[in-house]
């Protein structure tokens, strides 16, 4: 009878050990998933961070609005790169191609110089605003027009050339131009760029 009691308790111990091990594995799995999720969260866009710094340093905010330890969390206009390294963006700016990104970041200056009169005022903000989506539509149109004009331009140039050597150099130049346009105006991958320029 003693031997059966000791086997039952050993069996219980093994069952408890297995349950404990499964619980530990679940905790580890959950921790890994949380770490992977956190690593996928993007940092704030530099352009948006500078906007936030400008707002926090503006006359609309009380000069001593942030006085605690968190006053340097977002940096400042004087020290734009001195912000907390663990900042995350809840709704980050959509990553676009290099051309669209450059235009959307620099369009602010055009709107300040008078192009802003073409935009509608925002009833909630009480002033004229522009959105990235508007700028992205414009860059999309520019990309489409350029894409349709490149092949036509190459044919027009080649028709007027006499020497074969010159024609080959022009073809090479247009291939380079096409690959540069693909790289800067689209989000094409290397394989796609190679396939288009090699064709």
Residue 37: pLDDT above 90? no
Task: Say what the pLDDT of residue 1 is.
Answer: 45
**Phi, then psi, of 121 in degrees rounded to 5:** -75, 150
The DSSP bridge pattern shows strands 127-128 and 121-122 to be antiparallel
Share of the chain above pLDDT 90, in %: 2
- 98 or 118, higher pLDDT: 98
Q: Indicate whether 46 and 89 sit together in one domain.
A: yes
pLDDT-based confidence at residue 62 (cuts at 50, 70, 90): low
| Domains of the chain: total | 3
CB burial of residue 35 (10 Å; 0-12, 13-18, 19+): exposed
| Angstrom distances, CA of residue 161 to CA of 158, 174, 193 | 5, 14, 27
Q: Where residue 126 falls among pLDDT bands split at 50, 70, 90?
A: low
| Structural domain includes residue 131 | no
**75 falls within a domain:** yes
Residue 163's alpha-carbon distances to 57, 138, 170, in angstroms, are 63, 39, 11
What is the reported pLDDT for 90? Answer: 79
**Which of the listed residues 57, 75, 93 is the one where a domain comes to its end?**
93
**Residue 15: per-residue pLDDT:** 76
Q: Which domain holds residue 54?
A: 42-93
User: Would residue 17 count as lying in a domain?
Assistant: yes
The answer to whether residues 47 and 78 belong to one domain is yes
Q: Is residue 68 domain-shared with residue 36, that is, in the same domain?
A: no
| Domain-located, residue 108 | no
Judge if 31 and 57 occupy the same domain.
no
* pLDDT tens digits, one per residue of 170-194: 999 988 888 888 888 888 787 877 7
- Check whether 44 has a pLDDT greater than 50: yes
């Amino acid at each position: 009878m003693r031997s059966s009691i000791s086997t039952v308790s050993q069996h219980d111990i093994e069952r408890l050990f297995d349950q404990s091990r499964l619980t530990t594995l679940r905790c580890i799995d959950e921790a890994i998933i949380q770490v992977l999720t956190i690593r996928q969260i993007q940092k704030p866009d530099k352009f948006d961070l500078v906007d936030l710094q400008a707002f926090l340093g503006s006359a609309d905010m009380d000069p001593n609005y942030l006085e605690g330890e968190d006053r340097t969390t977002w940096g400042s206009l004087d020290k734009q790169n001195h912000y907390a390294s663990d900042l995350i963006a809840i709704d980050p700016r959509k990553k676009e191609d290099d051309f669209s990104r450059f235009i959307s970041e620099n369009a602010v200056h055009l709107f300040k110089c008078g192009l802003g009169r073409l935009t509608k005022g925002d009833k909630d903000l009480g002033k004229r605003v522009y959105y990235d989506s508007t700028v992205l539509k414009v860059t999309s149109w520019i990309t489409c027009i350029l894409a349709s004009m490149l092949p036509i331009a190459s044919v027009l140039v080649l028709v007027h050339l006499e020497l074969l050597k010159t024609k080959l150099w022009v073809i090479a130049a247009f291939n380079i131009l096409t690959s540069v346009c693909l790289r800067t105006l689209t989000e094409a991958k290397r394989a796609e760029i190679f396939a288009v320029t090699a064709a």
